[in-house]
Structure formats: structure tokens, C-alpha cells
Amino acid sequence: MPPPRPTLRSLAAEAGVSVTAMSFALRNSPEISAATRDRLQRLAAVRGYRPDPHLAKLMSQLRSEKRR
């Protein structure tokens, strides 16, 4: 049986950061330092993290509605 698919929460716990910090890093937010962003992105790549495309689309829509 293959290992469970990594989640944002599991990656954040492994890296010792908040879920918000992990999310910011994966979205290339300037809220996170470049060094931390690189470290978290490398961890996600090594663990095989892939965002759910349906959930990503929904969250993008929600974020854009907030800015209006």
C-alpha cells in the first residue's frame, strides 16, 4: 500500500511551521522569507506534494472575492 498523500498540514508539522506559513511558501508569497520559502518548497517537492486542482481553484476564487 503506498504511503498516504502528503497534506499541507502534514508538511507544516514536519517542517515545524504553521499551515499558513506553508501555504504562503507554496504560493510564493512575499510574507515568507526567501530562505524559508525555498526550504518549504523543497520539502513539498521531496514528499511529492501536489495541490488538489479543484480545491486550488475554489480557494483562488475565494481569495479574489475578498480583495474586492
Concatenated DSSP letters of 8-39: HHHHHHHHTS-HHHHHHHHTT-TTS-HHHHHH
Per-residue pLDDT, 52 = 87
Contacts of 37 (CB under 8 A, 6+ apart): 24, 25, 28, 29
pTM of the model: 0.79
Per-residue pLDDT, 33 = 96
Per-residue pLDDT, 31 = 93
Q: Which tens digit of pLDDT belongs to each residue from 43-59?
A: 999 999 998 889 889 98
Provide the percentage of residues in the chain whose pLDDT is more than 90.
Answer: 68
Q: Is the pLDDT of residue 16 over 90?
A: yes
